[in-house]
Amino acid sequence: MEQVLLLNITYEPLKVINWKRAIIMLTLGKVEVIEEYNREIHSVSFSIKLPAVVRLLRLVKRPKTPVRFSRQNIYIRDNYRCQYCGRIFPPTDLTWDHVLPRARGGKTEWGNIVTCCIECNKRKGGRIPSEVSMTLIRKPKRPEWLPILTITLGFKHLPQSWRDYIYWNVELEE
């Protein structure tokens, strides 16, 4: 719990930094604290709550990186949310689903693959969603970029206080 999520001024997650760096940036007036952990840090001159999320007070431009097609990145694009029932699961309880089944010519690509829970996957089987009265919560497409964080950290390791910001960011990409 000593990691701090650094947000751009736009609230876009930029990277994970250690708490000491966050404190330095804070004392330099470069960031503001958005979320805190419960733990306090004490020094000779001050004591403050350990920051969990900090936001830069000026804009940092970030280069866009192409997104590799992978199971993990599909989950990240979909916020670990089953695209049929809308529930969020840890990666171990998720699979991916071909919206148009492969047997009917569906391709394994961004536009035809969605995150799906085991239950919905069983229910859908090899059929198209309308045949089993299922609807997608959003149309899948290739993301332009993904938050760096969820790629390096994975769902289970994300502190609770970070999650709103990471999802917030992903939602913007719709």
Residues that bind Zn ion (CB under 5 A): 82, 84-85, 117, 120
E strand segments, 19-102: 31-42, 47-56, 94-98
Report the distance separating Cα 132 and Cα 30, nearest Å: 53
CB nearer Zn ion, residue 31 or residue 74: 74
In the complex, least distance from residue 122 CB atom to Zn ion, rounded to whole angstroms? 10
CB nearer Zn ion, residue 53 or residue 82: 82
State both tokens at 83.
Answer: 């695209």
CB nearer Zn ion, residue 129 or residue 159: 129
CB nearer Zn ion, residue 39 or residue 71: 71
Alpha helices in 45-159 (DSSP H): 71-77, 118-124, 148-153
In the complex, least distance from residue 95 CB atom to Zn ion, rounded to whole angstroms? 10
In the complex, least distance from residue 103 CB atom to Zn ion, rounded to whole angstroms? 21
Q: How far is CA 153 from CA 72, 90, 149, 160, 170, in A?
A: 11, 13, 6, 13, 15
In the complex, least distance from residue 119 CB atom to Zn ion, rounded to whole angstroms? 6
Which residue type is seen at 116?
Answer: C
